[in-house]
Amino acid sequence: MAKLFKDKLNKELGLVDVFVLSTGAMFSSGFFLLPGLAAFHTGSSVFVSYFVAALLIMPAMFSIAELSTALPRAGGVYFMLDRSLGPMMGTVGGIGTFLALVLKTAFALVGIGAYASIFYDLPIKIVASLLTIVFMVLNLLGAKKTAGLQRFLVFFLIAVLVLFMVEGLREVFSIGAQNLVDTKLRPFATDGIEGILSTAGFVFVAYLGLTQVASVAEEIKNPERNIPLGMILSLIVTTVIYVVGVFIMVGVLPTVDFFKDLTPVWTASQAVFKWIPAKYGGLLVVAAAIAAFASTGNGGLMSASRYPMAMARDRVIPRFFTRLNSFKTPIYSILATSALMLFFILVLSEEGIAKMASAFQLVIFILVNFAVIVMRNSRIQSYDPGYHSPLFPWMQIFGILTSLLLIIYMGWGPAIFTMGVVVFAMIWYYYYTRKYVKREGAIYHWFALLGQKQHIGLENEFLFILKEKGLREGDPFDEMVVQAEITQLKERVVSFNSLVGHVSESMANKLDRFSAKDIKQELLEVTAIDPALVIPRVSILHGKFEGIDTPLLHIVTSEVGVEKPVEKGEISSKDNIRVFFLLLSPIDNPKLQLRLLSRIMDIVEREKFVETICDISNEREIKEYLLHNDRYITLELIGDSSTEDLIGKMLKEVRFPHDVLVAMVQRKEKIITPKGDTELEEGDIITIIGEPKGIKSLFMKYIHLNN
């Protein structure tokens, strides 16, 4: 399992990067090209269609946020659908979403030429092709370099559009409410509610960038916070700018001209900018449009290129797409994506592509919403999203039904394209993928009666992902280790049964409500995740009880080892175990237990872990070894040193940073549980845990000064 993702990507992207990637991917054709074309279908109500489209993408956004925080893996929607609905639907979703992203990204790069041609007579497709090559090089150099460019483009774009909205609203409201209604908003919806809905489906492509974050989830730091928050902020900002901006276009442009205008923001800017010359205002808009198309092209290429990599990891397509270059980016995946973009740029047109991309994304959103329902009902223990979609399952059901409705209103052309991609993906799966892929999705865990098709490996894979994500803020791992009881057997030989019995009695003394017999039985119970906890010379036993407030850990080390019975089918043997972790957790928080187990696994996989921990004779040093990270520090109180001012003070008198805590005090061979009135003495060794910022300040004050 440790080798499962040896080609994993660097985690370089933060909350701002999530926001700009999502926002930048949405502001291009949807705002700078499509409004006029969309208004042709529904009239002045076009801004309502943009608002409806934003509402209808929310179920998919919430579902993708949940799945991304549970499974932050490159490939986004593909990986989610594969692990939830099985490899066939994963293949359909992966190929289809990849093509839709490539089409949308190619369309955005073509849009740069349309706005550039306002001032310069440049060949549009040549410009788009050259930009594809530029963005390909940037993506090959790494996600952080790509994200840096993305930040500049998006914040410049937002600044210009806010200026456009302020000036535009002033101009629109200067017309007068009644005059605005009479001259601009009548007729309001030329084709009624049907026209508003069909146009919402048409402009749906404007919001598709919102979901691109999922494809780079593996590269996002703290995904459980940054993914949902970044997506929600992005949708709010984008919806406001879309709705208000298109409303301004309706209010200031002649209706007939608006329907035919491929550069409506530029045309509107000539009417709204008053305090600066219209020419310079227009230049700002053109610069913003080019920034928007460039950010979509840049972010789209980064997102789309992760799909072949993820599919290749699973043998859905050939394995060489997983190879990374020296910058830790998927080189062949980026090259193939760029080549396909160049092909689409050179041979295809615009409006039909937008409809086709929207239609297939609606199908993907149906599957994504269904995937959340499947994952919640699969009861897979290690499915542990850091964000849960609200109003489950009604939010998902609403998303499925409305997506179907929009596809119906969009007509036969997009539907036929969608079916064609689905058929191609299924043929590919049948003749290529099926030969290499043997797993099944979580849907077979939902329908437990089909037990012969359950893929138990999903538990292991999800637990590995859980380990990689790390602990969640507030998880009491450090406190649990500090309070842990440690038994050092040294060279004493004991039986496995007596050892577990001894630990169970010790735990029962701390938990008055439970007997040692019940605890022992719970610790020896085999669970579905146990195969993922198999590590040479180490045994992790775990159990859950109702009424336990905080997790309880007991650690056992042995120099000679303990013979632990192992049964695999009809074969019985014994493993020599030198380190035991025995963990009891609250039954009402099973995901917490999994995160604690995953953190223990992460520690156990340190180089020479067994030899190192068994050689430590001091209980404090064992705990410090287990805690070792940027969240702890040890201080020895010595006279004539930087720690001298702590000697003789009670802990409540010491001014440490507010985000740290004195976890234990070692006085000679005795471990003291610290309290406010504990008086510190010379020679004491105090262990402090807390947030990295506070720990760093203590390091600079007490240790760095001595070096």
- The CATH number of the domain holding residue 479 is 3.40.930.10
Question: How many angstroms separate the Cα of 76 from the Cα of each of 5, 216, 260, 518, 703?
Answer: 15, 7, 37, 43, 44
Same domain, 32 and 99: yes
C-alpha to C-alpha distance for 150 and 292, rounded to whole angstroms: 10
What average pLDDT does the segment 429-443 reach? 76
The predicted pLDDT at position 82 comes to 80
Same domain, 671 and 695: yes
The angle subtended at Cα 419 by Cα 352 and Cα 402, nearest 5°, is 80
The predicted pLDDT at position 581 comes to 97
Same domain, 492 and 584: yes
The predicted pLDDT at position 264 comes to 87
C-alpha to C-alpha distance for 185 and 62, rounded to whole angstroms: 34
Instruction: Give 307-341 pLDDT, tens digit per residue.
Output: 788 788 888 889 888 888 877 788 899 999 999 88
DSSP 208: G
C-alpha to C-alpha distance for 363 and 360, rounded to whole angstroms: 5
Q: Does residue 451 sit within a domain?
A: no
Q: What CATH number is attached to the domain comprising 416? A: 1.20.1740.10
Instruction: Give 134-180 pLDDT, tens digit per residue.
Output: 888 888 876 555 556 667 778 888 888 899 999 999 989 888 878 88
Q: Does residue 452 sit within a domain?
A: no
What average pLDDT does the segment 502-528 reach? 90
**pLDDT at residue 632 greater than cutoff 60:** yes
Q: Does residue 496 sit within a domain?
A: yes
What amino acid is encoded at 656 in this protein?
A: F
C-alpha to C-alpha distance for 309 and 325, rounded to whole angstroms: 13
What average pLDDT does the segment 103-115 reach? 76
Same domain, 585 and 496: yes
The predicted pLDDT at position 20 comes to 83
* Element containing residue 487 per DSSP (H, E): strand 485-490
Instruction: Give 342-390 pLDDT, tens digit per residue.
Output: 888 887 766 666 677 777 778 888 989 999 998 898 877 778 898 999 9
The predicted pLDDT at position 5 comes to 40
The angle subtended at Cα 295 by Cα 219 and Cα 113, nearest 5°, is 150
Cβ atoms < 10 Å from Cβ of 536: 11
Same domain, 610 and 633: no
Identity of the highest mean pLDDT range in 68-77, 343-352, 402-411, 438-447: 402-411
Q: Of residues 590 and 275, which shows the higher confidence score?
A: 590
* pLDDT band per the 50, 70, 90 thresholds, residue 439: low
**What percent of the chain lies above the pLDDT cut of 70?**
89
What average pLDDT does the segment 231-258 reach? 92
**pLDDT at residue 48 greater than cutoff 60:** yes
Asked whether 637 and 628 are in contact (CB, 8 A), the reply is no
Q: Does residue 5 sit within a domain?
A: no
**pLDDT at residue 552 greater than cutoff 90:** yes
The predicted pLDDT at position 451 comes to 44
The predicted pLDDT at position 238 comes to 94
**pLDDT at residue 706 greater than cutoff 70:** no
The predicted pLDDT at position 372 comes to 93
Can you tell me which residue has the tokens 């437990």? 448
Residue 572 bridge partners (DSSP): 567
The sign of the CA dihedral 593, 594, 599, 601 is positive
* pLDDT band per the 50, 70, 90 thresholds, residue 452: very low
**pLDDT at residue 414 greater than cutoff 50:** yes
Q: Does residue 117 sit within a domain?
A: yes
What average pLDDT does the segment 539-558 reach? 92
End-to-end alpha carbon distance in the chain: 41
Q: How many domains does the chain have?
A: 3
Asked whether 8 and 218 are in contact (CB, 8 A), the reply is yes
* pLDDT band per the 50, 70, 90 thresholds, residue 399: very high
Can you tell me which residue has the tokens 């009666």? 449
Encoding tokens for residue 500? 């577990």
Residue 538 bridge partners (DSSP): 535, 579
The predicted pLDDT at position 559 comes to 94
Same domain, 522 and 416: no
DSSP 592: H
Q: Per residue in 260-289, is it b (16+ CB within 10 Å) or e — as a string?
A: ebbbbbbbbbebbbeeeeeeebbbbbbebb
Same domain, 506 and 579: yes
| CA nearest neighbour of 299 among 97, 94, 23, 112 | 23
Can you tell me which residue has the tokens 């991309």? 357
Provide the residue range defining the domain that includes 105.
Answer: 15-435
The sign of the CA dihedral 124, 129, 132, 137 is negative
Task: Mark which of 573, 605, 624 sits at the end of a domain.
Answer: 624
Largest separation between any pair of C-alpha atoms in the chain: 94
Q: Does residue 288 sit within a domain?
A: yes
Q: Does residue 1 sit within a domain?
A: no
What global pTM score does this model have? 0.73
Same domain, 598 and 633: no
Same domain, 512 and 601: yes
Contacts of 616 (CB under 8 A, 6+ apart): 622, 625
Contacts of 389 (CB under 8 A, 6+ apart): 59, 62, 63, 65, 66, 372, 395, 396
Q: Of residues 511 and 113, which shows the higher confidence score?
A: 511
Quick one: residue 638, left, alpha or beta (phi over 0 = left, psi -120 to 50 = alpha)? beta
Which stretches of 569-618 are assigned E, i.e. beta strand? 571-586
Mean pLDDT (the chain, rounded): 83
What average pLDDT does the segment 656-685 reach? 88
The predicted pLDDT at position 443 comes to 59
What average pLDDT does the segment 448-457 reach? 49
Same domain, 153 and 180: yes
Instruction: Give 254-287 pLDDT, tens digit per residue.
Output: 888 888 777 788 889 888 887 777 677 778 888 8
Q: What CATH number is attached to the domain comprising 660? A: 3.30.70.1450
C-alpha to C-alpha distance for 126 and 497, rounded to whole angstroms: 75
Q: Of residues 105 and 486, which shows the higher confidence score?
A: 486
C-alpha to C-alpha distance for 53 and 370, rounded to whole angstroms: 20
Task: Mark which of 624, 652, 677 sits at the end of a domain.
Answer: 624
Instruction: Give 50-105 pLDDT, tens digit per residue.
Output: 999 999 999 999 999 999 888 887 666 777 888 888 888 888 888 887 887 787 78
**CA 179 to centroid of chain Cα atoms:** 48
Phi, psi of 663 (to 5 degrees): -90, -40
What amino acid is encoded at 518 in this protein?
A: D
DSSP three-state, residue 680 = coil
Task: Mark which of 375, 408, 435 sits at the end of a domain.
Answer: 435
Same domain, 193 and 283: yes
C-alpha to C-alpha distance for 186 and 407, rounded to whole angstroms: 28
Q: Does residue 455 sit within a domain?
A: no
Angle between helical axes of 351-378 and 77-85 (0-180°, round to 10): 40
What average pLDDT does the segment 642-667 reach? 89
Same domain, 325 and 377: yes
